[in-house]
Amino acid sequence: MSKTTPDFFKGQLTPDVVELFTSSSVEAGRKPGNPLPLSLFIKAVEQAPVAISITDKKAKILYINEAFTEVTGYRAEEILGENESKLSDKCTPREVYYDLWHTITRKQVWHGQLINRRKQGERYLADLTIAPMLNESGKISHYIGMHRDVTQAYRAEQQLNNQKHLIESVINASPVAMAVLDSDHRIILDNQMYKMLVSELGHNEPARFFLDALRQDMSDLWPEGVSLPRAFSNREVRVEGAGRRGTRWFACSGNWFSEEDARADHFFLKQSRQYLLLSINDITLQRRQQEKLQLQALRDMMAEEEHIRSIRETLLGAMHQIRQPQNQINAAIQLMAQRNDTNNKPLKDLLSQVRQMGEETLNTLQRCVPEIPETAVVPVNINQLLHEVMLLYSTKFLANGVVVDWLPNPVLPSVLGSANKLRMLFKQLLDNAVNAMNRGGSRERLIKISTTVGRDWIYVAIADTGPGIPPHQRNKVFEPFFTTQAMGGLQAGMGLVMVKEIVNQHSGLIAIDPNYKNGCCFNLSFPVCPKNISTVTGHE
Ligand code: FAD
């Protein structure tokens, strides 16, 4: 190979570099069978879109390409013979240079970022790679440096990081627990409040717990094949016995968003992934305050209903009493008619008159029986109703030395029904339990109230430690005016009739547990409210 300088290099290269490019070692280094002329390699370096410089062992610049001039602003005649440090902004830490030189003098490639200054004085961030070039004896003869201005990319990356940090700190400072879940329900991001929920609720992944609770009452939260499901907001979830703070209420909101898949496989074939931002707001304090206010209103309403009910029972009881002689008079009149007994016509007329008066009295009484006001049928939460009735009854429980063991299912789907009627139902069962324990003189006065969930049913069990109901009377107790008490008064015997009626109105079932031995246990079941019309708590 001749050592003449190619034309296009004339005037740009120092003799050192000419030597470098045309040396027999470079020529020898070409791979055997490589048909490309050397000039092509030189052109490739010259026109490469990355700033390339070749230095001696002390970083004295011997060669620069066109891109170097574009990036630094220095033309060849201004920089050749200068040290690379001319580019330094002098604010790169010394350790970086130490590491740079430590690496390249060990014949290794160094890659890193430095702050450089252009000829015009403007700073830029250089992404620099320096590779040592070895001579035939394997010693370093030169260094080749390649750098790009990555200021813009760095700025964009930093802005992205700043935004991420900003979002993270806003999310962390939020008083609402937040978690981002992927479509496999894995937590991708969460905040401090969410982490607190983990310890407070004792669930490893509260988000999944809440999603399950929401799913019980909402139609499919995350339907397959839907690009972005509809957002939901302020869905209440009532959690029983959560931690030391007892019952708690949470308002859950969910927003879906999608993100382009950043994996290399999807560079050309774009694919997006869906995420759910779940916000869980603890609204226990507000709910408790509301509950206090509601409780007084409830107390008044239930007292009024109780009053109506007692009038109803009195009148129905009186009608029941009148119907018995009325039936006997009817029977006597029919008997006389069959015998065609004309001698006793005055008696027959008298009986007919009495019957007529009796019917009128019954009609008058019937008209006086007050109706129990109908209330709206909406999704209701049985746990909440039981809880309210227990609160209303707390003084009665205390006065009667009754201990209540409340074992609710942590989360309960709603039941479609009338809150008022269901409250009356539970109140009646608790009334019966307290009265039975008082009557039976039970030493241990315990009422156990539990709720559980089946596939489509909610189960309630109310058990007491009273004398219980003998097996042969268990079906009769649901009949009108039947009482297990020796001295059944006028008002006795209608409570369970009303209970049964309310259960029927809610398409539910009620039975006395035949296996319960410590007293009496009523088992009730109600169908779960259809999902499309339900809410998780279902307050009226
Ligand atoms: P200097 O006095 O030049 O050096 C600082 C430290 O580096 C010294 O304390 C010493 O530990 C070490 N050092 C310097 N020269 C040598 C040597 N020959 N052998 C072993 N250790 C040595 N710097 C930039 O700022 N920007 C660039 O774009 C850049 N590109 C480079 C490209 C190449 C190919 C090479 C070889 C070096 C490049 N450098 C670059 C490094 C540059 O040469 C300087 O070392 C650096 O700029 C620091 O300059 P200085 O004047 O502050 O300190």
Percent of the chain surpassing pLDDT 70? 85
Mean pLDDT of 187-211: 87
Decide if pLDDT at 20 tops 80.
no
Mutate-to-test residue for ligand 1 from 92, 101, 116, highest number of ligand atoms within 8 A of CB: 101
Question: H-type helices in 90-220, by residue range?
Answer: 94-104, 151-173, 192-201, 206-217
Q: Is 128 in the pocket of ligand 1 (CB under 6 A)?
A: yes
pLDDT of 4 over the 50 cut: no
Lowest mean pLDDT among 20-24, 119-123, 251-255, 457-461: 20-24
97 lines ligand 1 (CB under 6 A): yes
Q: Of the ranges 388-392, 470-474, 479-483, 484-488, which is most confident? A: 388-392
The pair of structure tokens assigned to 465 is 């430690």
How far apart are the C-alpha atoms of 282 and 278, rounded to whole Å?
13
**Mean pLDDT calculated for residue range 93-105:** 97
Amino acid found at 246:
G
CA of 87 to the centre of ligand 1 (A): 10
Burial (CB < 10 A; 0-12, 13-18, 19+), residue 208, is: middle
Q: For domain 155-282, which architecture applies?
A: 2-Layer Sandwich (3.30)
Q: Give mean pLDDT, residues 283-299.
A: 86
Q: Does domain 375-540 have CATH number 3.30.70.270?
A: no
CA distance 524 to 291: 25
Distance 66 CA to ligand 1 centre (A): 22
Question: Given the structure tokens 């339990």, which residue do they identify?
Answer: 433
CA–CA separation, 409 and 383 (whole Å): 8
What is the 3-state composition of the chain as percent helix, strand, coil, each rounded to the nearest 5?
A: 45, 25, 30
Ligand 1 and 72: CB distance under 6 A: no
Cβ proximity of 425 and 398 under 8 Å: no
Q: Which amino acid residue places its CA nearest to atom 20 of ligand 1?
A: 101
Tell me the per-residue pLDDT of 393-422, one tens digit each, with 9 for 90 and over. Answer: 888 899 989 999 999 998 888 899 999 889
Residue minimizing CA distance to atom 53 of ligand 1: 85
pLDDT classification of 485: cutoffs 50, 70, 90: low
Residue length, the chain?
Answer: 540
- Residue pair 103/17 in contact by the 8 Å Cβ criterion: no
Other CB atoms within a 10 A radius of the CB of residue 445 amount to 21
* Per-domain residue ranges of the chain: 7-149, 155-282, 375-540
What is the Å distance from ligand 1's center to 57 Cα? 10
Nearest ligand 1 atom to alpha carbon 97: 7
pLDDT tens-digit map of 223-232: 555 556 678 8
Mutate to test the pocket of ligand 1, among 88, 90, 130, 141 (most ligand atoms within 8 A of CB): 88
- Quick one: which atom of ligand 1 is closest to the CA of 115? 25
Distance CA 540, CA 381 (A): 10
Per-residue pLDDT band at 8 (split at 50, 70, 90): very low
pTM attached to this predicted model: 0.57
Same fold for the pair 7-149 and 155-282: yes
Would you say the CB of residue 481 lies under 6 angstroms from ligand 1?
Answer: no
Q: Quick check: helix, strand or coil at residue 501?
A: helix
Mean of the per-residue pLDDT values of the chain: 84
User: Which CA distances in Å does 94 have to 90, 115, 298?
Assistant: 9, 12, 77
In this prediction, residues 310-320 reach a mean pLDDT of 83
- Confidence category of residue 30, pLDDT binned at 50, 70, 90: low
User: How far is it, in rounded angstroms, from Cα 149 to Cα 122?
Assistant: 12
Q: Which of 104-113, 163-172, 481-490, 497-506 has the lowest mean pLDDT?
A: 481-490
Assess whether the C-beta atom of 105 lies below 6 angstroms from ligand 1. Answer: yes
pLDDT winner (highest mean) among 40-44, 160-164, 307-311: 160-164
Residue 440: phi and psi, rounded to 5, are -80, -5
Q: Which atom of ligand 1 is nearest to the CA of 145?
A: 34
The CATH code belonging to domain 7-149 is 3.30.450.20
